[in-house]
């Protein structure tokens, strides 16, 4: 089997989700880092691979897949030894899907706070409020629950936890996910759920530190 290739950026949370899921299920990825995601993905060649000009893009035997959550679903469905991270049983899967769609919206709310900060502007308080609203929702979802979707960890837990870690880009925003008690406990469960999670988080924090020093 030709190795799977991932078009990647080391600091991108969606790329981190793909690298994590691949690592947990034991799939090797050949990584190609993009230097400038706002430029390198807009060449005619790359736009053919992904018209959305975003990373991650997974290349598997001539197939190109974008959207991190779709890639995670694909990797588990095709390569995992069992279906616990993304159950085949529709009654279980639908909850994972729901949480992943929630995460898509949540991540965009986070982006709406950090994009202006990146451009040297003030974060909009109403956008901060939206992120806090999602964190309250998450806290309710986790009421009396170990995991976000069912009784085992799934790709939804990984996706949402990685979105939360994107908040580390903007420590001055005042958004603190650990103010929500269920979220705080669940985050530490996710962090200790698999050595690959802890490894990825450490690498991410080191890359973030380097970026800030620059």
Which positions are catalytic? 12
Binding segment for ligand GSH among 33-41, 87-95, 117-125, 145-153 (CB under 6 A)?
33-41
**Encoded tokens for 195:** 């050595």
Q: Is residue 163 within the footprint of ligand GSH (CB under 6 A)?
A: no
Least Å distance, CB 162 to ligand GSH, is: 10
Least Å distance, CB 179 to ligand GSH, is: 25
Residue 176 to residue 57: CA distance in whole angstroms: 30
**Encoded tokens for 55:** 């990373």
- CB closer to ligand GSH, 39 vs 140: 39
Least Å distance, CB 82 to ligand GSH, is: 25
Q: Tell which positions 36-95 bind ligand GSH, by CB under 6 A.
A: 37-38, 41, 53-56, 67-69
Q: Is residue 103 within the footprint of ligand GSH (CB under 6 A)?
A: no
Q: What is the per-residue burial (b if ≥16 Cβ within 10 Å, else e) of 94-122?
A: ebbeebbebbeebbebbbbbbeeeeeeee
Residue 44 to residue 52: CA distance in whole angstroms: 12
Number of residues that bind ligand GSH (CB under 6 A): 13
- CB closer to ligand GSH, 157 vs 180: 157
Secondary structure of residue 5 in the 3-state scheme: strand
Q: Is residue 12 within the footprint of ligand GSH (CB under 6 A)?
A: yes
String of DSSP letters for 94-163:
HHHHHHHHHHHHHHHHHHHHHHHHHTT-PPPHHHHHHHHHHHHHHHHHTTT-SSSSSSS--HHHHHHHHH
The residue from 6, 9, 128, 153 that contacts ligand GSH (CB under 6 A) is 9
Residue 83 to residue 67: CA distance in whole angstroms: 20
How far is C-alpha 11 from the chain's CA centre? Answer: 11
Binding segment for ligand GSH among 7-15, 78-86, 115-123, 146-154 (CB under 6 A)?
7-15
Q: Tell which positions 118-157 bind ligand GSH, by CB under 6 A.
A: none
Residues contributing to the site for ligand GSH (CB under 6 A): 9, 12, 14, 37-38, 41, 53-56, 67-69
């Amino acid at each position: 089997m030709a190795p799977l290739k991932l078009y990647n950026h080391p600091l991108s949370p969606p790329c981190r989700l793909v690298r994590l899921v691949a690592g947990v299920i034991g799939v090797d990825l050949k990584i190609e880092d993009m230097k400038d995601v706002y430029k390198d993905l807009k060449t005619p060649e790359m736009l053919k691979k992904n018209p959305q000009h975003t990373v991650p893009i997974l290349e598997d035997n001539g197939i190109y897949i974008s959207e991190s959550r779709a890639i995670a679903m694909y990797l588990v469905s095709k390569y995992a030894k069992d279906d616990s991270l993304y159950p085949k049983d529709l009654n279980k899967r639908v909850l994972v899907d729901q949480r992943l769609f929630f995460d898509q919206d949540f991540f965009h709310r986070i982006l709406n706070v950090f994009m202006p900060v990146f451009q040297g502007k003030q974060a909009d308080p109403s956008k901060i409020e939206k992120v806090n609203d999602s964190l309250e929702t998450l806290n309710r979802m986790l009421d009396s629950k170990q995991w976000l979707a069912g009784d085992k960890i799934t790709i939804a837990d990984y996706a949402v936890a990685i979105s939360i870690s994107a908040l580390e880009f903007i420590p001055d925003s005042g958004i603190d996910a650990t103010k929500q008690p269920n979220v705080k406990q669940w985050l530490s469960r996710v962090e200790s759920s698999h050595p690959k999670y802890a490894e990825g988080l450490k690498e991410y924090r080191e890359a973030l530190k380097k970026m800030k020093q620059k």
